[in-house]
Amino acid sequence: MNAIITAPELAAETVGPRPPVLLDIRWQLSMAKATGAAPFDGRAAYEAGHLPGAVFVDLDAELAGPPGSGGRHPLPDVAEFGRVMRRAGVSAGTPVVVYDGGQGWAAARAWWLLRWTGHEDVRVLDGGLAAWTGELSTEIPTPAEGDFQPVPGALKLLDADGAAELARTGVLLDARAGERYRGEVEPIDRVGGHIPGALSAPTTENVGPDGRLLPVDDLVVRFKDLGAFDTEVGVYCGSGVSGAHEVLALAVAGIPAALYAGSWSEWSSDESRPVATGADPQ
């Protein structure tokens, strides 16, 4: 099954015989530490207008555990994640479509968590809400309780040691901006740089100017150029959100990849772990 769905395809499915559960995951990376700006309020954006029938899911509170030594967005408690999904109306046999404001990172995090915990029919709205041309709603739905029971392990997951090993034996992609990979700036985490051996592969380069993923053939060329074929592939980012978007892009290109969910925020919190800087992977 394709991991993405276009806005016209979604419009047709919502009035079809098997409409998907819609999850609104609007979220933005908080830059308050660096800029002093107020954090983005995804719930307020949702309440101002969302796809009809969509349920809001809070990434920070419901798709991540409390920040700490495991990173800024560690994986949520699996049982609690299951409760959140059931409250949103998610059932094992019902298709799910997730979307955000258009960047795709937050929606990909929800996609990855659902796929990792065993849901087989989950897609991301390509281009997010920005690609939707239909009407929006301010009505807050009350869906019937779903029956989804999460069972982790359907997708590959890396810890810090596994990421370090994969950087030596396979391909480990760093989905953050190049300047953070090189260690030139670090607005959020303790120190800049990258895991030794990781390759810089900003997930922003997987999308076009319209915010949608590049065509499949272009993604295939990009990942082949990075050596991400016929080998084990892993991805990390700052905290396991934009990295999920790169895993999504790899899936669209036909490449299974593991996610290091703790990512740089976990790696860099331990001063004993090595840090590489500059454009050289090592």
- The catalytic site residues sit at 237
Q: In what order do the strands lie in the sheet with 233-236?
A: 157-158, 258-260, 233-236, 171-174, 199-200
Rounded Cα–Cα distance for residues 121 and 45 (Å): 26
Q: How far apart are the first and last CA of the chain?
A: 37
Looking up tokens 């051996």 gives: 197
**Torsion of the alpha carbons at 72, 76, 77 and 78, rounded to the nearest 10:** -150
Q: What Cα–Cα distance (Å) separates residue 240 from each residue in 20, 72, 258, 277?
A: 26, 8, 11, 20
- For 214-271, list the strands marked E by DSSP: 233-236, 258-260
Contact 263, 239 (CB under 8 A): yes
